[in-house]
Each structure stands twice: as structure tokens, then as C-alpha cells.
Amino acid sequence: MKKEIGITAYKCRKCGKIHYPFHDRCLACKGREFEQIKPEGDVTLLAYTAIFNLPWGFDQRFLILGVAEFENHVKAMGQIKAESVDQLKAGMKMKPSWEPVRVQYGEDVYGLKFEPME
């Protein structure tokens, strides 16, 4: 079963800038009123990196992390399902999903994952 992506972003009611995570005041216009929005659609990969020496709780040897932008402009960071960064390039489309990313205190911790759409 596909789980809903557990991210809420905050859209400034004054200027429309989207914040994730939450900020007290809009980074663009200093407004204080926000509308909660959910990420929608597929994502476009903006940047990515491979990380070695992972903290406890990960059983992979390394992890590829990326920042991507959803169709409604929410930007978020997630794990990329790829064997190597050679498969990736900025601007490529990916499918987002909400899946267990690691185990903490014996329970799955959910997070964002991106899968390249080939």
C-alpha cells in the first residue's frame, strides 16, 4: 500500500512563498500567516550527493540524498533509490514515496524517497 507523503509545507498567504520546514515569518516578505499545503505530483531533482559513514540505524553502506521540487513547488530532501550517483542528473524527473528509511528504537522511521523514472 502506498503511504501518503508525510510532509506539510507552509505557503505564505501574502506573497505565496513556500516554506518547508516551518518558519515563524516568511523569508521573503516577513508575513506571519501561512496556509498548510501537501506536496503534489512528481518531483524534479535539483541537487544530490552520496554520503558515506552513516549514523547508527542505517544498514546500507552509503546513501544517496537529494533535494527535489514537487510540481506544486514544495522542496524537500529525501533518499534517492539509485545504485550510484552516475545514474543521476539535476533536472531529472522522479517518483516520490514515503517509506521506512531507517530503524530507530526497533521501529521503522518513515521518510521521503525518490525513484528515478526511466
Contacts with Zn ion, residue ranges (CB under 5 A): 12, 14-15, 17, 26, 28-29, 31
| Measured distance between the N- and C-terminal CA atoms of the chain, rounded to whole angstroms | 22
Smaller CB distance to Zn ion: residue 15 or 109? 15
DSSP assignment string, 37-104 = E---S-EEEEEEEEE-SPPTT--SS-EEEEEEEETTS-EEEEEE--S-GGG--TT-EEEEEEEEEEEE
Grid coordinates in use for 108? 521503522
Smaller CB distance to Zn ion: residue 16 or 100? 16
> Least distance in Å: CB of 32 to Zn ion?
9
> Least distance in Å: CB of 74 to Zn ion?
15
Smaller CB distance to Zn ion: residue 29 or 47? 29
> Least distance in Å: CB of 18 to Zn ion?
10
